Structure 1
Amino acid sequence: MSIAINSKKCVGCGRCVEACPGNLIKMDGQGRAVQRHPRDCWGCTACLKACPAGAVDFFLGADIGGRGATLRLKRDKGLIHWQVARPDGTTRTVTIDPKDANRY
């Protein structure tokens, strides 16, 4: 499991750095987020949820049943959209209202 940070989308807010419980993300010389030790990421997705720009993707490897898919989080009008992009080009989206996220 690992994340990928898109430096072109990163706005340099540092929220992912603050959210990462493993201290695995830092800011580079250009003020963009980068991973310190990608292999140490344990997949908590805190950085995905913290990033307002959608610059962090999470790789869903075959070892956890993801078959190489990528998880992206997008926000729109107060809703959170978890998008799973599969290697074959198909996507699946689960939309959540954050107010109801902890109901179940």
Structure 2
Amino acid sequence: MAVKIDKNLCNGCGSCKESRCMAVCPGNLLYKNEDNQAKIRDKRECWDCAACVKECPRQAIAMYLPAEVGGRGSTLQAQDFGDKIVWKLKKLDGSIEEFNIQNKLLFNSNL
């Protein structure tokens, strides 16, 4: 799998030196290009952790899914609402499935 960054949506998190996706990438694979947009150095090096997908406030980053999971060319995006993360599976036929995952850490007072 690999990530794709939609240059029509990415604003590089504004004027900050390091965008949010850059800060969370455990492989240090993301950087800002000359247009102040996030770019991946080498898609083959991506760990498929989805940290950047979840962190992007503009939903500009999607993860390609392998054929076994979503069909060749399907993508997965996330939007963090604090108490839940909404994952959107976009299939090649244009259909979209949504999955809502509650953020249990916010509700566990024992942590």
User: What per-residue deviation string (whole Å, max 9, x for no partner) do you get for residues 31-81 of structure 1?
Assistant: 11001001111210000111111110100011x522122101134585421
- Structure index of larger Rg: 2
The structure carrying a bigger strand percent of its residues is: 1
Where do 4+ consecutive residues of structure 1 move more than 6 Å? none
Q: Which consecutive residues of structure 2, in runs of 5 or more, have no partner in the other structure?
A: 14-18
The number of equivalent residue pairs is 102
Find the aligned partners of 1:12 and 1:35 in 2 and give their Cα distance. 12
Distance apart, 1:100 and its partner CA: 5.8
Q: For residue 97 of structure 1, what is the amino acid of its counterpart? A: Q
What does residue 66 of structure 1 align with?
A: 70
User: What per-residue deviation string (whole Å, max 9, x for no partner) do you get for residues 8-48 of structure 1?
Assistant: 21121201011111111101112110010011112100001
Q: For residue 42 of structure 1, what is the amino acid of its counterpart? A: W
* Percentage of pairs with the same residue: 34
**TM-score scaled by length of structure 2:** 0.79
Q: Which consecutive residues of structure 1, in runs of 5 or more, have no partner in the other structure?
A: none
What does residue 5 of structure 1 align with?
A: 5
Matches within 5 A, 1:1-104: 1-13=1-13, 14-62=19-67, 64-68=68-72, 69-75=74-80, 79-99=84-104
